[in-house]
């Protein structure tokens, strides 16, 4: 792996263009920007653990907006924390293309780019994995993770500024609950916007998937608190947008419509 030293103002595109990681599609070490030279815009996602609910939700939005993204000629690459097995599982569940996903098992690129490591309370009697779990639980409670509790509650109460997430005829399966038809949310709150419990239901499905396959999604729990980032470049490699996650469920500047920055 690359071992570039992070500066105060790193040339992010230059760093990424020199970075090689294991590609999920073929299991080979490849440049992460391989095949990205002829594109109108390049979206690079530095994801946390592939079992992190943020990433499953991010991938869901990318699939939902796939046609609009392709119409604008935007190329996507992502690097997540995990191994090839976790990457294969992630892609199978989310529909994210294996050719676009690379893995960094020790979150090295996150450190190079100066991304938030998350809460890091140190107790000497705990192992690195136990420390990560403790800090993760505290972050889930909003400590060292601004905006997390607000975003959790938004999933339950609904959001008039967000689009409808589940079509009336769609059936949500894979949760501990019986299958839920999209029309249920229409009856509960209306149509054309994010209804109460709609987002919470999708998050419950993601949580069920990850917890049922925890050791696959999270082969090393030492990096549970590490946060990610979003970087958008123009055709010349100039950085035109970035978002650095500051907490759990904080993967976008506008969580009501996480991909809105692509269309500005």
Radius of gyration of the chain (CA): 18
> Is residue 180 within 8 Å of 172, Cβ to Cβ?
yes
**Is 35 among the domain residues?**
yes
pLDDT value of residue 8: 39
Give 179's DSSP letter.
P
What span, in angstroms and rounded, lies between the C-alpha atoms of 192 and 111? Answer: 40
Give the residue numbers spanning the domain of 202.
12-263
Q: How far apart are the first and last CA of the chain?
A: 35
Q: Which of 100, 84, 75, 118 is nearest to 226 (CA)?
A: 118
Q: Which of 206, 53, 218, 204 is nearest to 133 (CA)?
A: 218
User: In the structure encoding, which two tokens stand for residue 11, read together?
Assistant: 């040339």
User: At 214, phi and psi to the nearest 5?
Assistant: -55, -50
> Is residue 94 within 8 Å of 56, Cβ to Cβ?
yes
**Is 16 among the domain residues?**
yes
For the chain, the domain total comes to 1
**Is 156 among the domain residues?**
yes
What span, in angstroms and rounded, lies between the C-alpha atoms of 254 and 232? Answer: 15
> Is residue 172 within 8 Å of 205, Cβ to Cβ?
yes
**Is 7 among the domain residues?**
no
CATH code at 134?
3.40.30.10
What span, in angstroms and rounded, lies between the C-alpha atoms of 264 and 250? Answer: 20
Pairing state between β 229-234 and 239-244: antiparallel
With H, G, I as helix, E, B as strand and everything else as coil, classify residue 243: strand
**Is 223 among the domain residues?**
yes
User: In the structure encoding, which two tokens stand for residue 113, read together?
Assistant: 């780019």
What residues pair up with 75 in beta bridges, in sequence order?
42
Looking at the whole model, is its pTM more than 0.75?
A: yes
What span, in angstroms and rounded, lies between the C-alpha atoms of 27 and 83? Answer: 10
What span, in angstroms and rounded, lies between the C-alpha atoms of 214 and 63? Answer: 23
> Is residue 139 within 8 Å of 248, Cβ to Cβ?
yes
pLDDT tens per residue across all 264 residues of the chain = 333 333 334 699 999 999 999 999 999 999 999 999 889 999 999 999 999 999 999 999 999 999 999 999 999 999 999 999 999 999 999 999 999 999 999 999 999 999 999 999 988 889 888 999 999 999 999 999 999 999 999 999 999 999 999 999 999 999 999 999 999 998 878 999 999 999 999 999 999 999 999 999 999 999 999 999 999 999 999 999 999 999 999 999 999 999 999 998
What span, in angstroms and rounded, lies between the C-alpha atoms of 232 and 248? Answer: 21
Q: Which of 7, 2, 249 is nearest to 142 (CA)?
A: 249
Helix (H) / strand (E) containing 217: helix 214-217
**Is 145 among the domain residues?**
yes
pLDDT value of residue 10: 62
**Is 2 among the domain residues?**
no
**Is 256 among the domain residues?**
yes
């Amino acid at each position: 792996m690359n071992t570039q030293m992070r500066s105060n103002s790193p040339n992010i595109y230059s760093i990424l263009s020199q970075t090689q990681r294991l590609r999920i599609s073929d299991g080979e070490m490849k440049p992460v920007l391989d095949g990205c030279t002829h594109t109108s815009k390049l979206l690079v996602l530095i994801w946390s653990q592939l079992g992190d609910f943020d990433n499953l939700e991010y991938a869901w939005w990318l699939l939902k907006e796939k046609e609009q993204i392709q119409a604008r000629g935007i190329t996507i690459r992502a690097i997540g924390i995990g191994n090839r097995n976790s990457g294969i599982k992630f892609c199978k569940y989310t529909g994210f293309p294996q050719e676009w996903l690379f893995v960094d098992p020790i979150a090295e690129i996150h450190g190079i780019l100066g991304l938030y490591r998350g809460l890091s309370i140190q107790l000497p009697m705990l192992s690195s994995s136990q420390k990560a779990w403790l800090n993760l639980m505290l972050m889930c409670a909003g400590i060292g993770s601004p905006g997390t509790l607000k975003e959790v509650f938004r999933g339950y109460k609904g959001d008039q500024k967000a689009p409808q997430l589940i079509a009336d005829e769609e059936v949500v399966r894979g949760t501990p609950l019986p299958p839920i038809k999209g029309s249920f949310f229409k009856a509960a709150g209306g149509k054309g916007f994010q209804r109460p419990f709609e987002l919470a239901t999708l998050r419950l499905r993601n949580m069920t998937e990850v917890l049922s396959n925890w050791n696959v999604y999270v082969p090393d729990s030492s990096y549970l608190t590490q946060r990610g980032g979003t970087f958008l470049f123009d055709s010349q490699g100039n950085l035109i947008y970035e978002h650095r996650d500051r907490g759990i469920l904080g993967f976008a500047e506008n969580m009501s419509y996480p991909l809105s920055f692509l269309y500005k």
